[in-house]
Amino acid sequence: MTDHDGGRRVAKLFGALLMAVGGLMAALCGLCSAGVVIMSGANGVGGAAPAMMLALIFGGPPIVIGVGVFLWGRSLWRGPPAKPTIPKL
């Protein structure tokens, strides 16, 4: 086993950890934002429009960051794209 293989294992592990953290971050922030919107709409006091704006302002950036961290981790986990081989004639 060469040094390169060990580095690839570390990159796969780090990518998997980033996918877990990013997925949890996006999912939990999304659930919290959805809960705020649903509960404010169920109360009927001010409607869901102000709650949607608050959820978008305060919940949107962590969701976007979580998705970005997940995609970054997925790219690390998958590794560099394979180079196409040209058959020799």
In this structure, what is the dihedral angle of CA atoms 7, 78, 12, 28, given to the nearest 10 degrees?
150
pLDDT tens track for 8-43: 888 899 999 999 999 999 999 999 988 888 888 776
Give the predicted TM-score (pTM) of the model: 0.77
Burial class (CB in 10 A: 0-12, 13-18, 19+), 82: exposed
pLDDT tens sequence across 69-81 = 999 999 999 888 7
**Where are the chain's structural domains?**
27-77
